[in-house]
Amino acid sequence: MWPFDNGEERIHQPNKSTMLSRQEINAIESWISQIGIFQFYKTVGQKMSAARKTLKLKYKIIGHGFNRVVYDLNNGYILKVAFSEVGLISNANEAYLYNNCNEEVKKYLCPVKEHGTGWIIMKKVDTKVPFAIKEYTKLIKLELKFLRYGIIPIDLRLDNVGYNEKDEMVVIDYGLFTMDLKSPVLRWFV
């Protein structure tokens, strides 16, 4: 489900989890309720610092982008928490795409375990992808597969892929992919 209805109103997703405690969910909800305040921070570092101080999650931060911070849950899964409006859209979009795409391309998406407003739990995937011509060839073939099944793979690059246990390339960050030309994702690019 998209985090917005008609591009304006936020749709509330139930924040229940089998992996996160009620206290952790409450911390994320509190953080998400303040996202508008943090939009004025100029750097990702400032947003990361604010997220770390506000969320106070016990998990190790293993990465971040411009819009989300990634925690290792130490159980084979990772937690992505939004720290911008684009991060909110990306989390909801990953859950939507994973649950609604064709099975032929689903196997190339990092599996989603759970999600709620502003957060998503996904399978942890090996992200050590070498920057080699062979990998770029795989990436181009992957892009063509997504396009063949009606998914526009915005932001598909080596930094956003990894390898699963079968040594197959999978996309670990597909928050900006879309199956819908009216998607909120595309509003950020036009």
Q: How far is CA 100 from CA 1, 2, 28, 115, in A?
A: 10, 12, 25, 14
Sheet holding 60-64, edge to edge: 60-64, 68-72, 77-82, 119-123, 112-116
DSSP string, 85-137: HHHHHHHHHHHHHHHHS-HHHHTTBPPEEEEETTEEEEE--B------HHHHH
pTM of the model: 0.84
Query: Does 151 or 126 have the greater pLDDT score?
Result: 151
When pLDDT is averaged across residues 99-121 and rounded to a whole number, the result is: 95
When pLDDT is averaged across residues 50-75 and rounded to a whole number, the result is: 91
Domain ranges of the chain: 4-187
When pLDDT is averaged across residues 31-51 and rounded to a whole number, the result is: 79
- pLDDT of the residue at 46: 83
